[in-house]
Amino acid sequence: MYLLDTDIIIYSLKGNKSVIENFRKHADAPKAISVITYGELVYGAKKSQQVVANLAKVRRLKEIFPVIELSCTIMDTFASIKAELSKKGMTVSDFDLLIAATAMTIGYCVVSNNAKHFSKIPDLTYENWA
């Protein structure tokens, strides 16, 4: 069960061979995206040169992958992770923490190329398909 980060979705749309191969390799595994990833993709589409075409792609992705909404339980996990990292003097962007908290709450593995952030989060299951 995989929670796909924004960069992995973008790499797949651009035809990254490693990411495409990993999608094939894990074809039968459940996959989802966070509402955070959905928002980042919509933002990227709206600031692109091809707004209509890119928004259509994002909306299609929403049909392919369930979008996991934020909940109070996810926010509790987010706050715990952020407080723990803060005590250690470590920072991770709130969006990445929300994606991690979502994955941890629902028992999914985060798939991202952003090892810099996700590797800092204790107890997070993380894979890099890029």
pLDDT of 66 reads 97
- Looking at CATH, the fold of the domain delimited by 2-127 is given as Rossmann fold (3.40.50)
Who's near 97: CB < 8 A, 6+ residues apart? 78, 81, 82, 85, 121
pLDDT of 77 reads 98
pLDDT of 12 reads 95
Which amino acid, 41? L
Tokens describing residue 57: 């792609």
Distance from chain centroid for Cα 84? 21
Q: Would you write out the chain's pLDDT as a tens digit for each of its 130 residues?
A: 999 999 999 999 999 999 999 999 999 999 999 999 999 999 999 999 999 999 999 999 999 999 999 999 999 999 999 999 999 999 999 999 999 999 999 999 999 999 998 999 999 999 999 9
Listed by start position, the domains of the chain span: 2-127
Phi-psi region of 15 (alpha: psi -120 to 50; beta: other; left: phi over 0): left
pLDDT of 84 reads 96
pTM for this prediction? 0.93
pLDDT of 73 reads 98
pLDDT of 32 reads 98
pLDDT of 63 reads 93
Contact criterion met (CB below 8 Å) for 18 and 130: yes
